[in-house]
Amino acid sequence: MKIAQVSPLWERVPPPAYGGIELVVGHITDELVRRGHEVTLFASGDSETLARLESVHPRALRSDPNVRESGIYEMLQLSRVYEQAAEFDIIHSHMGCAALPFCNLVKTPTVHTLHGVLTPDNRKLFSHHRQQPYISISDAQREPGMNYIRTVYNGINPQDYPFNPQPQNPPYLAFLGRLSPEKGPQHAIAIARATRWRLKMAGKLDAVDRQFYERELAPLIDGKQIEYLGEVNHSEKVELLANAAATLFPISWREPFGLVMIESMAVGTPVLGMGLGSVPEVIAPGTTGFVCQSYEEMATLIPAALEMNRQTCRDRVLSNFSVSTMVDEYEAAYQQVLEGRICNINGHILDPRVSA
């Protein structure tokens, strides 16, 4: 099968540090190549891939201070993709709504993995193209009126996350994620302070979150009980999670998936997450962590999480969230689209090449 994978340009594939979408795109692309497909990856020019790489910019936009209008580069990339559409059997977009205006201009079908949530603004465009074939990354992510053909959970390569049967002593809690209000680093700090646990934090700090960091986080990071390790690379991330007694996932939004949860479980560390978005689908309550209804409950369940079998945490990832399982599902989705076995929101068979 000839497949185009289209990634956002903001981060390279795979990301050198933080970058959930680009990590997943990298895994999908390389596994498809290993399975014998002819894959072209449209991504930043510094990306590393087994596929043929095409790019409209030599480096990730995030790392280029000369880039002022990132949307222009997205349009350039999508123009190149759809100018070559006839060369592919299927186009797999990870670009959200940006690809939608191009899809009905060509005969090659596009399948869209949605990595975020719909907003009041982009919902207008999605609604206009609601009969395009969409893939959700959790059932909780789905919105009414959209033509979802499948849910495909994100996956990781377990060999990249060595199992650790015992946490570090003295023990600590881990937090990994963007330092933004919806990811909950402020709640992780509050839980650690209330329970007198050490907390090690890592994650990307975007410019938009700088004021939040300076106001609510920085005054409480003392380098002793509360440590911030910066934006760690892969090996540092694995070390942080593997040596932790438990990982806190104190989100305050409808998380579409949450790679941190499966990365933590893969190394054997249970996860305490708020019961929002995908969390109840990822954590097996009482065996690989807890799905909590309040931050107070999260604090009280820390001792119980420490009693969990760390091998059971890893086994859940091996069974449900591996790259192999993820790509099995994507191959099935491609076949579903190419064979025309797509039902629209009214239950009728839909040709993916026909405009809504």
Neighbours of 235 (CB within 10 A): 9
Model-level pTM greater than 0.85?
yes
> Strand 148-151 and strand 134-136: pairing?
parallel
Give residue 252's Cα distance to chain centre: 17
Measured distance CA(167)–CA(177) in Å, rounded: 20
Which of the two residues, 45 and 18, has the higher pLDDT score? 45
Q: Where would I find the H helices in the chain? A: 20-34, 70-83, 100-103, 122-128, 185-195, 210-212, 234-242, 259-266, 279-282, 295-300, 302-306, 310-320, 323-338
pLDDT > 90 in the chain, percent: 91
pLDDT interval class at 341 (50, 70, 90): low
pLDDT reported for residue 340: 86
pLDDT beyond 60 at 346:
no
Average pLDDT, the chain: 94
**Is the model's pLDDT at 87 over the cut of 80?**
yes
| Other Cβ atoms within 10 Å of 340 Cβ, number | 12
User: What is the structure's pLDDT at 342?
Assistant: 58
If you write DSSP's letter for every residue of 223-238 in order, what string do you get?
SSSEEE--S--HHHHH
> Tell me: the pLDDT tens digits for 180-206?
999 999 999 999 999 999 999 999 999
220 has pLDDT over 50 = yes
What does the pLDDT look like over 126-156, one tens digit per residue? 999 999 999 999 999 999 999 999 999 999 9
- What's the pLDDT tens digit per position in 248-307? 999 999 999 999 999 999 999 999 999 999 999 999 999 999 999 999 999 999 999 999
Residue 344 has pLDDT above 70, yes or no: no
| pLDDT for res 108 | 97
Amino acid (one-letter) located at 118: L
Percentage of the chain beyond pLDDT 70 is 96
Q: Evaluate whether 125 touches 109 at the Cβ level (below 8 Å).
A: no
Amino acid identity at 185 = P
CB of 229 closer than 8 Å to CB of 236? yes
* Domains observed in the chain: 2-155+323-350 (3.40.50.2000), 158-320 (3.40.50.2000)
